[in-house]
Structure 1
């Protein structure tokens, strides 16, 4: 069997590429012992990684802002080629190139049957829902690797219809595992539709994906807020308006200068729990973005919250925030009759249709997020650059299969 190499968390700010065992068609011990199910997984497939991406959610772990242990494998944004399939896998075959939703789902429980694959009940004994290479998500090995095991393969894998076309479009298609559906989910659940005005907080990859999704959904104006000039420039590069949150002016005033009124029809929080206050020298204020979106969303609006919030943050600025308890102005949201959608994006609700948008040339997500290809050995450098705030989405190409941009 070939070796397998994977990116692992070593200490705050440090990752490394280490060798581990080649994957087997077996479930993790945490899942087997915690749920009392069989270890052998004839329903699984082993994939040779074609591309795998660095995500902001990974960065939270690497910054030491979660309870991730040293040695935690990383990577949940996976696109790969099937190299082995269990005897119960019927509809994907060796050689197929597939997108892997970051949600691990059994396809058999009540939540999966309701389409809520982000909170599958049979893949994580600690809580509903699981993901590859993530803390408290069931012990599944991460996909920033050379090979990975995918359980319940017939249900989880999205097969691309044509191999050559898939490789040609891989820098776009690699975004289907997480950030494109997640950004779309944020915009869709915020109620973005034809003619909407939209505010997206955060110009990282998920925020940029949400902004592009809002355009696809017909928004008349998409405003992106951030504190990093390079990221704001990236948002403007595909037609978004921007607000620089280093500015001390009220957000509502800056919105009014763009759309003519101090509110928008829909708002998206693509920042999450490491939010900062407004102003050049503002420190961390975890509830800032949640309060922002309630403040500038019109009465009756919906708020999409794909930004990550956690139940354990050892680096939080106060004791309440360390357990995910934030100073949210829920009374404001109640008074304005806002509805909010939180949690993992159920990727399978969106990925096939978004694949069609990419393959037909209607969506240009790689351009929107500035996809930048690196090797597996360059992953530690990619993490450092991403943490510095560069306007790039790093795509790891472990086997040299992705064509040059």
Structure 2
């Protein structure tokens, strides 16, 4: 990092997740090891092979600052994203009093993987049942359920920008399960390069519906052995894992140019040191043996941040509860960190909430920022029968106090995109520079 490169910090966090609909509720649930995975309640799943998911419960959009019009017209994942963005701004004490110049220098980047799936299924069902008839009542119903906000993949980003009148860069990232991290990383670059001063960045998804579940069931990616024990179903790195758990949610982070944050006395959760992304270029769903592209990505990220393997104190892993994914991850850690791999605490947030698709890596970025802020590491749940090929310190079942200066959050997605964010404890970069 050159002396002239602008530094970027995290000053606001917002989360909508299966185990908590605010930053504090979510964090406390993670630290206490509370799972949000339950039997599906939003529709009748009795005929499906998978009957459990990480649903968001007790979500009241108006309590999170959405207007009645937004409640009526915005889809579930867009509502989640807007609610999380409102939380992040409030957390950063920046939810009011933006001047015009500040609005022009503030943007929104949102990642998503499957945000249209549930709404598409709803519209398909509506047309299948009713068609388009010369019936005024039916036509009125169709006009209500079909708006640009239901059809556009960038609805979450543009809705947040419109709600807060942010005129800066606004984009949607669609890179699968790494989309939230990619949105954060791209936003980090914009601030670093001087194209924005503040960015709301994160991810959102809500695809718990028959089409969403069946799409992954067909390829054998979902757990089917724990329908009667939902809280035990997501078990990353455990020998008895049999697939991931579909989930929904959103997370948004407020990234800010460091000097602006310091000037207004903002609380800084962590500093963003770097971001890197690459592709397996291999297969839509399978992983290359030993996770070679992930190895290269981790090495690249450390090099770009002028860090060594010895500097890393914590990793929030992709950890989706699938056999090949976690064996490849473990092999990559060992290749990059050598013997130190056994000394680095690694935890998988998905063990508590399931896999929230495009929101997953953003939620995990929130966890990583809080680990640096609180010096407390959440556990990986359901570590009962460790996979002998996954023999690192996956922080089994109980949270742990641990000094963390530098942390990584990495994700991998269907399609083969790998991404990693590098965070530092507040002030750590200054100490390294001495």
Tell me the TM-score normalised to structure 1 length. Answer: 0.28
In terms of fraction of residues, the more helix-rich structure is 2
**Larger RCO, structure (CA 8 Å, separation 6 or more):** 2
